[in-house]
Amino acid sequence: MTARTVRRVGERALLVEVPGTADVTALYGWLREQQEAGALGEVEELVPAARTVLLDGVADVDAVARLLRTARPTAADTAHGELLEVPTVYDGADLAGVAALWGVSEEAAVRIHTEPEYVVAFCGFAPGFGYLTGLPARYEVPRLATPRSTVPAGSVALAGPYTGIYPHPSPGGWRLIGRTALLLWDTDREPPALLAPGVRIRFTARRAGGRP
Amino acid sequence: MSVLVVVRPGPLTTVQDLGRRGVAHLGVPRAGALDEPALRAANRLVGNEPGAAALETTLGGVALRAVGPAVVAVTGAPAPVRVDGRAAAWGAPVVVPDGAVVDVGTATDGVRCYLAVAGGIAVPPVLGSRSADLLSGLGPAPLGAGDRLPVGAPPPYRARPDLVPLPAPPTELVLRLRLGPRADWFTPDAVDRLRRDTYRVSSTGNRVGLRTEGPAVARARDGELPSEGMVVGAVQIPPDGQPVVFLADHPTTGGYPVIGVVPAADLPAAAQARPGTPVRFVPLRER
């Protein structure tokens, strides 16, 4: 495991900084295991983000900080999440634009997007909105210059290194490549979010006109 | 089971309890009462568990008609309380007979009143809490005229206080600040100035954050910080240099650097500080 910086955040929280998003996923998976094993004592929240994991509501901040400075999570901690298949109709308004940015046909763009296994690196922006990593770095795309005022729920979209799926209708500046009929967020379900951090994802292409 | 019918919702009245825990990793804010001691006190006065759901008003109060008898208590910001036009106690249990209207007037000082009812506001919980989360829209919407709020079964009788001591709303808001995690994004002089200068509570604040106005806090470096997890009390410095203190509905992650964190004990006063109130940040020495 790579270098880590542990920063105090107020009286009851710690921010752990790592070099990259893959390290975040490994660290978060390891922390969840430690939490379930009772090794962290009381911790209210574990919040992964792009380069950090926040531990909030920590009863014994000093003890957990010591543990974090010495512990050695391994890469094996990354692959623990369940695998979720996301059936997707690739007919998004920006699919042609994304294919052009990649210099390939739309069919090839769909193959490129369905090829990797993704993982939910972290959530944010709205409840249940996951930032999925897995697309090779050469396929990063910029956000739209002008965000759309409404993006329908279920839209599969790209921005920067991430793939996202809008759980609710909302404004958005990501490039829309497709849509899924999966209900991503349901407060009556446990867990309410399909795309929780650590969940692994495969996108599968469904025929346009059929049900996604 | 009694019901409270909203006669006058006031400028912004929401249902609040102690908020949601354990769901920040899904992007769900904590929410919950901004002045938690006031919520707990109101619940104690009516015999509820301290974290039962109650109403949080904003400056302008609220009026409710009881369908079935109710016992209520109002705490937080001092405000006139009337039952069918007759003056009633603030900070003490008040009986509201079936059909009567309890009216909490405009706060004479402070910002937020808490109206607890014996049995608690019994709207369905969402993710373990009845709190309205105004950032992501979870929980019950802010009150509207005509809304019917179910009241839970009155709690079993237990000894309860006649009065609970509560601090007065602040005339000057003193916010201690534990520096970090991103104090190194600011010049040493910026931290010094934050200690010396006086800020004021801005009128643009809300349940997401207390906004303050004053000399801009200068950054030592440019660039963007990748979004990272945020805690309640975090003092974010956006590009305009005006500090924002995160309150209960704050986003779970954010990309502006956090110069320091206000201890939880200082946040109830922040919830009661009116626009224009002077704010002094007191950076704490590192241990």
Task: Supply the DSSP string of B177-210, one letter for each residue.
Answer: EEE-SSGGGB-HHHHHHHHHS-EEE-TT--SSEE
pLDDT of residue B286: 61
Say yes or no: domain A5-77 is CATH 3.65.10.10: no
Q: Of all residues in chain A, what percent carry a pLDDT higher than 70?
A: 93
Let me know if A11 is exposed, middle or buried by CB neighbors in 10 A (0-12, 13-18, 19+).
middle
What's the farthest any 2 CA atoms get from each other in chain B?
63
Q: Which residues of A touch B (CB under 8 A)?
A: 7-13, 15, 44-54, 56-57, 122-129, 187, 191-193, 196-197
The reply to whether CATH 3.40.50.620 applies to domain A83-206 is no
pLDDT in tens, chain B (287 residues): 799 999 999 999 999 999 999 999 999 999 999 999 999 999 999 999 999 999 999 999 999 999 999 999 999 999 999 999 999 999 999 999 999 999 999 999 999 999 999 999 999 999 999 999 999 999 999 999 999 999 999 888 777 887 788 888 999 999 999 999 999 999 988 888 899 999 999 999 999 999 999 999 999 988 889 999 999 999 999 999 999 999 999 999 998 999 999 999 999 999 999 999 999 999 997 64
| A196 touches A184 (CB < 8 A) | no
Domain boundaries along the sequence of chain A: 5-77, 83-206
**What amino acid is encoded at B78 in this protein?**
P
Sign of the CA dihedral running A105, A110, A115, A119: positive
CA distances from B178 to B110, B253, B270 (A): 25, 19, 16
pLDDT of residue A2: 59
Domains and CATH numbers, chain B: 3-150 (no CATH), 173-284 (2.40.100.10)
The minimal CB distance from A128 to the residues B26, B230, B261 is found for B26
Looking up tokens 């470096």, which residue turns up?
B221
CB B37, CB B268: distance < 8 Å: yes
B127 to chain A, closest Cα gap in Å: 6
Cβ-based neighbours of B129, under 8 Å, separated by 6 or more: B17, B18, B19, B20, B31, B32, B139
Determine the distance in angstroms separating the CA of A210 from the nearest CA of chain B, rounded to an integer: 31
Is residue A127 scored above 90 in pLDDT? yes
Say what the pLDDT of residue A78 is: 59
Q: Which of residues 234-263 of B touch A (CB under 8 A)?
A: 234, 251-253, 258, 261-263
Q: What is the pLDDT of residue B161?
A: 84
Whole-angstrom distance, CA of residue B20 vs CA of residue B250: 12
- CA angle B76/B200/B81 to nearest 5° reads 20
CB contact under 8 A, A56 and B229: yes
pLDDT in tens, A176-189: 999 999 999 999 99
Given a cut of 80, whether residue A67 has pLDDT beyond it is yes
CA distance B255 to B226: 6
Cα Rg of chain A, angstroms: 18
pLDDT of A69 reads: 86
Element (H, E) at B73: strand B70-76
pLDDT classification of A79: cutoffs 50, 70, 90: low
Q: Which two tokens stand for residue A3?
A: 């270098």
User: Does B227 reach chain A within 8 Å, measured CB to CB?
Assistant: yes
For residues B151 and B121, give the distance between their C-alpha atoms in angstroms, rounded to a whole number. Answer: 5
What is the residue type of B281?
F
* Contact between A68 and A60 (Cβ < 8 Å): no
The pTM is what? 0.94
Using the CB atoms, write b or e for B57-94: b if 16+ within 10 Å: bbbbbbbbbbbeebbbbbbbbbbebbbeeeebebbebb
DSSP A9-74: ETTTEEEEE-SSHHHHHHHHHHHHHHHHTTTT-S--EEEE-SSEEEEES-S-HHHHHHHHHH----
Strands B199-201 and B209-213: what pairing?
antiparallel
How much is the pLDDT for B219?
Answer: 92
Q: How far is CA B215 from CA A37, A164, B87, B170, B262, in A?
A: 48, 39, 44, 22, 19
Does residue A75 surpass a pLDDT of 60?
no
Instruction: Choose the weakest-confidence range: A75-79, A148-152, A188-192, B270-274.
Output: A75-79
Cβ of A11 and B234 within 8 Å? no
Give me the sheet containing A52-56, strands edge to edge: A5-9, A13-17, A52-56, A45-48
Whether A116 and A200 have beta carbons less than 8 Å apart is answered as: no
Q: Which of B138, B227, B258 sits opposite A124 (nearest CB)?
A: B227
Residue B198 confidence (pLDDT): 93
- Nearest-by-Cβ selection for A51 from B23, B25, B226: B226
Burial class, B157, CB count within 10 angstroms (exposed 0-12 / middle 13-18 / buried 19+): exposed
* Of the partner residues A11, A56, A191, the one whose CB lies closest to the CB of residue B178: A11
Single-letter code of the amino acid located at B118: A
